[in-house]
Each structure stands twice: as structure tokens, then as C-alpha cells.
Structure 1
Amino acid sequence: MPMDPEIAALLRQFGLDGPGPDTPPSVAEMRAGNRMLSLAVAPDPPLAVGSVADGRVAGVPVRVYRPEASAGPSATVVFFHGGGFIVGDLDTHEGVCRRLCRDLGAVVVSVAYRLAPEFPFPAGFDDCVAVTSHVADSIADYGGGKLAVAGDSAGAGLAAGVALAFRDEGRPLAAQLLAYPCTDLSGGGSHPSRVENATGYLLTTAEVENDIRLYLGDDAAAGGRAPASPLLAGDFAGLAPAVIGCGECDPLRDEGLAYADALRAAGVVVRVHRYPGLIHGFLNFDSKSAAVEAAVGELYGEFGELLG
């Protein structure tokens, strides 16, 4: 499948169109590279919202984006950034959160959960549950409207896990937005996209496998069950409605589509999209590619409809 030409040109510009390194980069190098690319493609100037403030919720660093003042309640979205559970931070997804806030008129709480390998599973997941639970208990302080979760890549996997936890606790969520979610950390799944898109599309299957190894640490068996692997939860009934978007040129494509199938089979309302030519991480490229702009507009628009 040919890559979107505007994304392909962008990768050439940053020297990211060739084969990966012979030896895996260090964690510090991974984080620096991810941060460099994310900040380089961010909208300039940043999208305007009502206010942005850093703080802590349940002891976890967060950044809260609030829309321009409105007469009634605003929806609240708790957002978990991508980065393979290893990289990413509040800054790398600033543009994504600003657009969510602006397009949905929602309060967005971006979560700086703990990262592996320093803090392997379940530390980051526990942070995500703790922040979402606090926001749910204090919803009047965060818009007062419906509550939803969202994320991309590893963050989408975390959002799916939080949605499962909330369902199990009988706590309502209005919706979940899962962009190219990482849903199967077992190593035993048969996902053709892991082979089809193993190299040549920025994220490689080798990098996915390395990230999973670092994330699970000494508890590799955790990848064989939820919440680390939402696809393996077994019971999906009663989960929040979902909007799921996957890029055709992504090694994680098929596990995201499989999760959509599992939700739909359980009677969950699902809107799923498979975008031709798009690669992993495409949310960050909306200001650089017309195809991504259209995809992001569609995903956020459908997510907003679920939030009313």
C-alpha cells in the first residue's frame, strides 16, 4: 500500500524514510527522537483554546485544556498519549489535545502517566485509572458534562483498559476514542499487518516488540490478558461506545480492527475507519497532510457526536 505522499515527503525531510538502525536505540535516544519529530510537526502557532494549565491529579502530572467559555456544561475527555509506553509526554501531544479541546468544545485532561522501563506495567495503567476516577468524582470541576477517554497508540490501549475498568466498576463513560490502538501485547496474536507493515512506515514491528518487552518488564505473562491487552478481555458487553481509527500502513492496524470487531460482536456501538495511506502516529500530522486532516476531522467529529 503506497504511503500518503505528503507524509512520505515529511519523513524524507527528517531522514526517517530509510531502514531502521542496525541496533536498537537507547531509551534516551528514543525519547529524544520522538520529542523532536512531535514538536517539529506541531501546528505553529498553536491552536487557540480558552486556557491551558499544568497541575497534578491523584498525584499524577496533567495538563488541562479548557475551551472558550460556554453557557452550559462541557464534556470532559481524559487523554492518554502514545509512545509505546516508553516515550511521549505532555508536550508531544499538545497539538492533539488543543484540537480536541477546540473541535469538541470539551475540557481535555492530558495525563503524564509513568513510563517504562523505569516504571513497568501496571504503573502507567494505574495512573490512568487514578486520574480518570478523580475526574469522574469531581466532574463539576472539569466541565460538568459527559466523561470520555481517548488516546493514540499505547495511549489508546490504556484508554481501552480504563474503559474496561470503569465498566467493571459500574462507572459510566460516554465514549472512547481509540486512534491506532495497541490492544494485543501477548505475542501470540495472528495480525497480518505486523508482517505486511513490518518496515518502511516509520514504526516497525521490531520496535513494537521491543516496546512491549520493556513495558511488561518481569511480568511478560500480563500481556496475555486484560488490561494490558484489551483485546484479550473476553467480555466486551456494556463498554462505552467507541470511535476507532487505524492507518492502512501501520503494523498495529489489524489489532485495532480486531478490537472494533470484538466490541461490535458484543453489541457495543462502534464507528471504525481504515484510512488508506496513513501510518502509525498520524494524529500528530494533521497540519502537514490533507489526508490526515480529513481523517482527524472525521474521527473527532464522530467522537463529538457521541458526547452530544
Structure 2
Amino acid sequence: MAIDPQIDGLLQLMAGSGHPPMWQQSPEDARRGFRVLTVDLRDPAFVPEVAAVEDVTVPGAAGPLAARIYRPSAGSAGSAPLPTVAFFHGGGFVIGDLDTHDLTCRTIATLCEAVVVSVDYRLAPEHPFPAAPDDALAAAHWVADSLADLGGSDRMGVAGDSAGGNLSAVVAQAFRDEGRPLAGQLLVYPVTDMGGSYPSHTENAEGFFLDTQTMAWFGAQYVGDPSALGDPRLSPLHGRLDGLAPAVVVTAELDPLRDDGNAYARALAEAGVRVEHRVFPGMIHGFVDMGRHSAAAQAAIEETCALFRTVLHDEAGR
């Protein structure tokens, strides 16, 4: 299927900006550019209102981490206890922060009727692997121990996009091993096999926002030791998958990471895990932040959140 016309218009606008591709930039410049795209150019009228936003610190593996708690506005759940979601942002383990994913967290809190705790884990190259998964797990432990004060129910999920989807999958596997049950995991175009080679890497190599040269640039910043590529904390597809929490796995047709997520969804299902898997046609990597530009992207976001809401609230089992 052809690319969504509204997203194509956005890509044409970005291509005409005159900025060099991310893989030709320093990490600092790439971070600034990503913030311009996701924060500075954001339309405030499109930002969902929530009941409260609170900046806090949570324990990381090597010290405190900045985090942000989103509480949804009162909806059909009223004052009833809500599930809590630990959210990990995308950005190739090199870029991204609490602000760049503010819109996504507000959307999940609102459409999934959940408290969302967004975690600002350490980034590469200053902090290469395994700093990010170590931080994600430490923060998730804090969330799990604080459910009574956060959402109030005993149901917890993990969620993330791209690199954050990778971290969510890693946390889900660790929680399974620790005997800590999760209500669900939302993996949006996740990185699941860092050393893998898939058709989508070639089919969607360039022209669709994320390109394979940028993926290689991210990997070079994040992975200092190539022998670690099979480590499940880096490539969760190589981990043990049975007994994991129900998963919503979302990929985009025109994303070089499409087949990473598709392979993980298939492997989860083969391991007996309950999986809802969607491949959204005409979409590209990053579409969850593009609803303000594309009606089709917004529809995909809403479908994704509806699926995860069902898992979080266990509506399918009622």
C-alpha cells in the first residue's frame, strides 16, 4: 500500500528543512532536532487534557531518574482504582526524553484510562547498554511497589515505542522471571532483534522518517560490544517468551523495524502468549506522534489504545 498522503506531506516538509540526516549529526544535535520536531512544533490545541501531571524522581540502576506521572481526567471509571503503566520513550536509546513523548503519554492515560509513569532512563553514548534496561527495570520495580499510591489497583502494564518497546519487552520478561505478574505490555514498532536482518530493513531502507543508516548510527552509540547482540536484555526476541503478560504489538507497514515487531508478535503467539497484533498500512515509524498531521495515524493510535485498554482492564476476560 502507498504511504498515507498526509504523512507523505509531512515527510516532504521535513525533507525540505535543509537539516542533515540524523546519522550525520552529533547526539547533542540529534536530540535538539528531535525536540524541535516533537515539542516546539506541537500544536497545544491537540494535546489531550489530563487531570494532573507531576514531575517526580524514581530510582534508577545508578541513581535517581526524572519521571512524570500522568493522571487521566475522570471518565467512565469515575473514582474507581485504575491500572498503572510504566512508559519508556523511544529514540534509539540515544535521543528522546519526557517532553518528546508527553503527547503519547497523555494519549495513553486518556484513552486507556490509566495512570502513566513516564521514565527518563539514561541515554547512550554517555551511558551505553545495559544502562537503559537496568534503569527501566529499577524504575518498573518502583512503579510495581507504588501501585496503591499511583493508580490504586493492583494491575500494572508496561508500554513504549521503538527503543521503549524494546525496554518494555525486556521488563516484561524480567517481571515474569521474578514472579511479578503484569496486566499487559504495549509494544509499538519495537526493536526486538538488534543483530537481525529482515526484508523490511531493505524494503523501507530510506524515505520513511527512520532509515537504516540512522538505525546503524543508533546501534553504534548504544552497543559497545557486538558480542552482546544475542543478550535478551538487548534483543528480547532471543529470550524465553512463554508465560509473559498479554501483549499488544503494533507495527507500521513502511517502517524498517516492521519485521522486528512482526517476528516478536509471532514468537509470542507461538509461545502461548495472548497477543493482539496490528500492522497499520500506509504508516511509518513514529506515527504515534503524528495524529495531529494524519487522520489515518490518529485512527491507528485510537485503535492501539483501545486494544491496550482492553488488556489493562481485563475486559476480554469478563
Task: Return the alpha-carbon distance in structure 2 between the equivalents of residues 49 and 246 of structure 1.
Answer: 27
2:179 matches 1:178: no
CA 87–21 in structure 1, closer or farther in 2 if over 3 Å, else same:
closer
Name the CA distance, whole Å, in 2 between partners of 1:37 and 1:4.
Answer: 19
SS in 1 for 2:253: strand
Structure 1 window deviating more from structure 2 (147-156 vs 201-210): it is: 201-210
- 1:264 and 1:152, CA in 2 relative to 1: closer, same or farther beyond 3 A? same
| 8 A contact 2:23–2:213 mirrored in 1 | no
Shift of 1:15: 2.8
Counterpart in the other structure of 2:157: 148
Greater shift, 108-117 or 41-50, is seen at 41-50
Measure the CA separation in 2 of the matches of 1:206 and 1:106: 36
Where has structure 1 moved over 3 Å in runs of 4 or more? 16-23, 40-43
> Number of matched residues?
304
1:215 aligns with 222
Q: Which amino acid aligns with 1:34?
A: F
Whether 1:7 and 2:7 are equivalent positions in the alignment is: yes
Decide whether the 8 Å contact of 1:76 with 1:148 is kept in 2.
Answer: yes
Q: Name the Cα RMSD after superposition.
A: 1.7
> Given the superposition, is the C-alpha separation of residues 27 and 41 from structure 1 closer, same or farther in structure 2, using an over 3 Å criterion?
same
Match of 1:65 in 2: 70
Q: Are the counterparts in 1 of residues 237 and 264 from structure 2 also a CA contact under 8 Å?
A: yes
Q: CA deviation at 1:177?
A: 0.4
Render the CA deviation track for 1:6-40: whole Å, top value 9, x for unaligned: 01111222336999649721111211111111125
Q: Is the 8 A contact 1:17 1:202 kept in 2?
A: no
**Residue 245 of structure 1, CA deviation:** 0.8
1:78 and 1:279 map into 2 onto residues whose CA distance is 24
Q: Which moved more, 1:22-31 or 1:246-255?
A: 22-31
Query: In the alignment, what sits opposite 1:192?
Result: 199
Indicate how the Cα distance of structure 1 residues 19 and 249 shifts in structure 2: closer, same or farther if over 3 A, else same.
farther
Task: Indicate conservation of the 8 Å contact 1:51/1:67, yes or no.
Answer: yes
Please report how far the alpha carbon of residue 95 of structure 1 lies from its aligned counterpart in structure 2 after TM superposition. 0.5
Q: Which residue does 2:316 correspond to in 1?
A: none
Taking the aligned partners of 2:37 and 2:270, their CA distance within structure 1 comes to 38
2:174 matches 1:160: no
Question: Any conservation in 2 of the 1:60–1:113 contact (CA below 8 Å)?
Answer: yes
- 1:301 counterpart = 2:306: yes
Letter in 1 for 2:53: V
Q: Distance in 2 between matches of 1:249 and 1:112?
A: 28
CA contact (8 A) 2:23 2:214 kept: no
State the one-letter code of the partner of 2:166: G
Q: Which moved more, 1:261-270 or 1:67-76?
A: 67-76
Deviations 1:34-68 (A, max 9, x none): 11111255342321100001110112110000123
The answer on whether the counterparts of 1:11 and 1:17 sit within 8 Å (CA) in structure 2 is no
Instruction: Report the Cα distance in structure 2 between the residues aligned to 1:15 and 1:161, rounded to whole angstroms.
Output: 34
Change (3 A) 1:41 1:260: farther
Q: Does 1:51 align with 2:52?
A: yes
Matches within 5 A, 1:229-308: 229-233=235-239, 235-308=240-313
Report the AA paired with residue 194 of structure 1.
Answer: H
The 3 A distance-change label for structure 1 pair 256 and 117 is same
Residue ranges of structure 1 left out of the alignment (5+ in a row) = none
| In 1, Cα distance between equivalents of 2:7 and 2:227 | 36
Deviation at 1:115, TM superposition (A): 0.2
Give the direction of change, closer, same or farther, for the CA distance of 1:274–1:16 in structure 2 (3 Å limit). Answer: farther
Separation in 2, partners of 1:303, 1:20: 36
Separation in structure 2 between the aligned mates of residue 276 and residue 92 of structure 1, nearest angstrom: 25
Kindly indicate whether the alpha-carbon contact (under 8 Å) linking 2:189 and 2:261 is maintained by their aligned counterparts in 1.
Answer: yes
Contact 1:42 1:284 in 2 (8 A): no
Q: Deviations over 1:98-156 (max 9, x none)?
A: 11111122110000000000000111111111111111012101112210000000000
Distance 1:224 1:180 in 2: 19
| Unmatched runs of 5 consecutive residues or more in structure 2 | 314-318
